[in-house]
Structures are given as C-alpha cells and as structure tokens.
Homo-oligomer: A and B are copies of this chain.
C-alpha cells in the first residue's frame, strides 16, 4: 500500500520505519529536515520537507493515489487541517489522525476522520491493569 505519514516525531518515525520494512510504499513529511535523522537506515521510503497544510506539498507527495494518510503531528490543529484536506480535497479513503485533546475528537469524527488518541489508549490501559490487579488479589 501507499501510505503518506505527516509528522516525523517519535510516532511518525516508528510508523514510517515499520511500514517501510513491512514492504509498503511510504512518504514521510515534516517541516524540519532534521526530524528525518531518527529514521532507521532500513527506511526505504521518501522524505519530504515542508508544510503539509500546503496544497502543493501534498500534490508533490502524490496524495491522490495514497491508500492511507496518517497525521501524527503533535499539534491537533495541524492534524485536523491536513486530514480534512486529504479526505475531502484529495479523496483519500483511509485518513487516520492522532488527537491529543479529547475535546477535539468530535470535530475530527464529524469531518469523517478516524482518530487515535494516545492519551485515551493509555487511560484505558491504566484502568485495565488496575482492574486486573484487583481481581488477582485474595
């Protein structure tokens, strides 16, 4: 599959490396070229430096043929912007966005974007482990 990843922070890097090694075609976009240094030597995809909210940059990433766009930036507003453009301007079928502020979740969902909230996932994991510990006790 052809996957466009916006943001080459910790999450974006792990996704880009993993998907590239798994045989997918990957383009990773970041505003700062230095961010690409965290990619592993095994990463065989493309690196694009620039602002992913700019139409021209997304065009040069050939986003219209992407199977999936993953917005992984640390700013929710940037992820929302990029995800909406991918979904509604370029018609990308699978658009996934990281969301930090739980309050933003509804806005993304209304825009037809699937959200992944690391905070919510961690919250659920903490609660599950606590419950599991409670049932183990005599």
Contacts and interface: CB of A to CB of B under 8 A. Distances in A.
A127 B133 CA distance: 28
Contacts of A130: 1, 3, 19, 68, 70, 94, 96
A113 B30 CA distance: 34
Given A14-B102, A18-B123, A116-B129, 9 more contacts: A10-B100, A11-B119, A11-B123, A11-B126, A67-B134, A67-B137, A94-B133, A116-B122, A117-B122
Contacts of A125: 116, 121
Interface string A6-17: 000011001100
Interface residues of A, number: 35
Interface of A: 1, 3, 10-11, 14-15, 18-19, 67-68, 70, 72, 93-94, 96, 98, 100-102, 114, 116-119, 121-123, 125-127, 129-130, 133-134, 137
B93 A133 contact: yes
A129 B15 CA distance: 12
Contacts of A133: 67-68, 93-94
